[in-house]
Structure 1
Amino acid sequence: VSEQKTYSAESIKVLEGLEAVRKRPAMYIGDVGKRGLHHLVYEVVDNSIDEALAGHCSKIITTFNSDGSVTVEDNGRGIPVGLHKEEKKPAVEVVMTILHAGGKFDKDSYKVSGGLHGVGVSVVNALSEWLWVEVKRDGKKHKQDYKIGVTQNKLKTTGDTKKTGTKVCFLPDQSIFQETVFEYNIIAERLRELAYLNKGVKIVLRDERHEETEEESFRFKGGLSDFVKYLDTNNNPLHNKIITVNKEKTEVPVEAALRYSSTYNDNILTFVNNINTIEGGTHLSGFRSALTRSMNNYAIKNNLIKAKKNEKITLSGEDFREGLTAILS
C-alpha cells in the first residue's frame, strides 16, 4: 500500500520572491521552450519601450553576444538609483529582484506600459545564470550584478557620464530552459513590429555571434501606415492612400490604419499597449461593428445599395472585410 500523503498546514509552501519563479517558470513566461526563452528578451525590451511611450527614449539596441548572452540598451531616463523607502535598497535593485515592482504601477510615471504586468525584468533576472544592469542617470554611471536573481554586490558608481539610459545584459539559465540559443529572425520580427507601433523610435538588432557582425535597424516615420504597407507587400492595393485614424484625446488613445487590396482574405491585427491581442477582444469586435455600420450608412446615404421600395438591404461585415488589411492599436 502506498504511503498516504497528508495535506496539512505544513503542506502549504510559501515561496519568497523570485524562488517562486524558478520553481514554476512557465507561470511567468508561458513555457521553458523556445517561446519562453525569446520572451525574456521581449520583457527587457518592453521596459525600454515603456520609456519611449513616455517620451523619454528614442533608441533601443539589442545585441546577441558571442557568449550566448543578450544585451538591451536604451537612452531613456535610466531606472532610478535612489534608496527605496520601504525596501531600504536602491530602486534599481528593487526593480530587478522583487516581483510586481516598477514604475508602471505609478500613473504619474507611465501613462501606458506593456510587459508582464510589472513582473518582467525581475523574472528575467530569476531565470538567468547571471545578469548585470548599468544605469546612466544624474551624471553618474551605476552598475550591479546578480546570479539566478540574487544580488551579488552593492550598487557601485563606476564613473561620470553626460548620457542617460539603462543597459541590461543576461545569460539564460541552462538548467531552466530546454534550449538557450536565440533565433535572430524571431527577435527581428518582434522588434520590427515594435518599431511600426512606436513611430520614430529607432530599434537596432545586432548579432555578434559570428565572425561578421550582422545588424539591422528599424525606424518607421509612418508608424501604422508603414506597417500596413509591409503587410500588403504581396497584395495588389485597390487604393494607394492608407486610411488612418488617430484619437489621442480620448481616455484610451486609439490609432488605426487600413487599406483594401484585391485579395479575398482580410488581415486585421490588434494591439493593446504594444502587445498583440491574437485572441481578439472588445476592441476588435468594436472595430468590426463600427466598420460595418459606417460602410452601410455611407452606401445607403449615397444610393450605392439599390433596394425595392420599403425594403432595407444591408451588407454583412464579411463583405466589407474582404481584402482589408488593418491595424488597430
Structure 2
Amino acid sequence: MVLPTDLVEAVRRRPAMYCGDVGEYGLHHLVYFLLDAVYEEARCGECGDVVLELGGDGSVALFSASRTVPAEGLVEVAKGAGFFGRSPKYGWGWDSMLVVSLGLSSRYQLDMWADGRQWRLLGEHGRPLGDVSEVTPTEPMPVSAGRGVRVHFVPDATIFEVLAFDRARLARRCNELAALAPGLRVCFVDLQRGERTLWHLPGGVAQWAQVLTEARHRLHTEPVAFDLAWDGLRVQCAFQWCEDKDSTLLSFANTVRTVRHGAHVNGVIQALRGALAKLSGTLRREFPWSRVSQGLMAIVAVSGPERQMAFAGPTKTLLAIAGLEEAIRKQLKAHLVETLRGHPVTPRLLARRLK
C-alpha cells in the first residue's frame, strides 16, 4: 500500500495546505481526518466499533471495524496501483485521509484483519518499508470483529512545531463522534494514564443532550427531539430546558463543529419561535429568542454527502446550504406545534413571553 511519490512529496512540502497548519490545529487534524473516515463508514452502516489510543511515546493509533482491501488486492495496492481508493474495485473511502496522516508521520504501522488473517505494512515519512507481510500467528483485534483496520503513526518532528496531543481534545472528539453516528461504539484509551472511556449513544443527539444536562435541574424528563429529512440530508435536533439560565447551542455538519452555526441552526430557531408564537396566540409578534433559550441545551446536526455540505468561507464554521433554512423551518414548526401542545415545559416557556 504505497502513497504515490509525487503526492507524498506534495503533502510534506506544503503540509499546512492539507491539514491547516503545522501547530496544534494541524497536528490534531491528522486524527480528525481518520475519525471523519470512520464517521462516513458508520453513516453507511459499515462500522460499529472504533478505538482511539493515545500512546506515551507521542504516537496515536486508530482501529476501526471497517471494510478492508480484499486480501487478493494487497499486492496490487502495495505496488502503488491504488491506495485504499474509492475505486469500484475496492470502494474503501480512506485514501485521502491516509495520504495526509501517514504522509506527515515519521513512522507508521498499518494492520488489517479480514477472513481470519492479518496483514501489516511498516513505513516512514509516508513511504512503505518493504512489502505487505502476513502476520502469523494472527494478533487479536482491539475489539471482537470479523474485520478491521488499525493505523498507528507518530507525527514527524521535522514538520510539526507541536507534537503533544491534547488528551481532552481527542476525548471530546470521540464523544461527539458517538453522538453524531448513533449506535457507533467509540472507545478512547490513554495508555500513559491507563484510562479507558467508552461512548455509546444509540439515542444520538437526544441521548447526548440528556448526558450533558445530567448535573442540572431539568424542566422535563426527556429531551424534545426530531429527525427530519430534506434533499438527501438528515437533520437531527434535540432540546432540553433546565431550571437555570445557562444556555448552550451545539451545531454540526457531519463531524464539523459549526461554531458560527448557519442555515441549519437558523431554521431550527425560526421553527421554535414560530411554534411558540402560534401556541401563545401571538402570531403577529416575535417570540424573543433570549427568553426561549434560557436554560436550554440544544443540539442541531446535519448529515449527508460531503459534496452537499456548503460552507461560507474556508474555515467551515458557518453552514450555508441553499434552501436548508426554509426547509427546516417549515418541517420542524409543524412538528414542534404538535409536540409542544400539552407538553409539560410549554406553560413555562409561554409564561416567559409576558415577562
1:70 aligns with 60
State which drifts further: 248-257 or 26-35: 248-257
2:285 aligns with 313
How big is the shift at 1:248? 5.3
1:195 aligns with 178
Alignment of structure 1 residues 105-124 onto 2, 5 Å? 119-124=96-101
Percentage identity across paired residues of the two chains: 26
Aligned equivalents of 1:172 and 1:18: distance in 2? 14
Contact 1:256 1:328 in 2 (8 A): yes
Corresponding position: 1:186 with 2:174:
no
Corresponding position: 1:157 with 2:110:
no
Corresponding position: 1:293 with 2:274:
yes
Q: What secondary structure, in the 3-state scheme, does the structure 1 residue paired with 2:63 have?
A: strand
Aligned equivalents of 2:71 and 2:110: distance in 1? 11
* Structure of greater Rg: 1
Aligned equivalents of 2:147 and 2:37: distance in 1? 15
2:48 aligns with 58
State which drifts further: 87-96 or 271-280: 87-96
Q: 1:143 to 1:93 in 2, by over 3 A?
A: farther
Corresponding position: 1:232 with 2:209:
no
Contact 1:79 1:165 in 2 (8 A): no
TM-score by length of 1: 0.77
Q: What secondary structure, in the 3-state scheme, does the structure 2 residue paired with 1:144 have?
A: strand
TM-score by length of 2: 0.72
Question: Whose helix proportion is higher, 1 or 2?
Answer: 2
Q: What secondary structure, in the 3-state scheme, does the structure 2 residue paired with 1:154 have?
A: coil
Contact 2:250 2:300 in 1 (8 A): yes
1:11 aligns with none
Contact 2:47 2:64 in 1 (8 A): yes
One-letter amino acid of the structure 1 residue matched with residue 23 of structure 2? G
Deviation by residue 1:213-265 (Cα, 9 ceiling, x = unmatched) = 22111112332122112332454322222111113586211211111223334
Q: 1:138 to 1:257 in 2, by over 3 A?
A: same
One-letter amino acid of the structure 2 residue matched with residue 224 of structure 1? V
How big is the shift at 1:160? 7.9
2:304 aligns with none
1:43 aligns with 33
Q: What secondary structure, in the 3-state scheme, does the structure 2 residue paired with 1:73 have?
A: strand
Deviation by residue 1:38-89 (Cα, 9 ceiling, x = unmatched) = 22122223222322222122211111234321111122222455549xx963
Unaligned 5+ residue runs, structure 2? 139-144, 302-355
One-letter amino acid of the structure 1 residue matched with residue 33 of structure 2? E
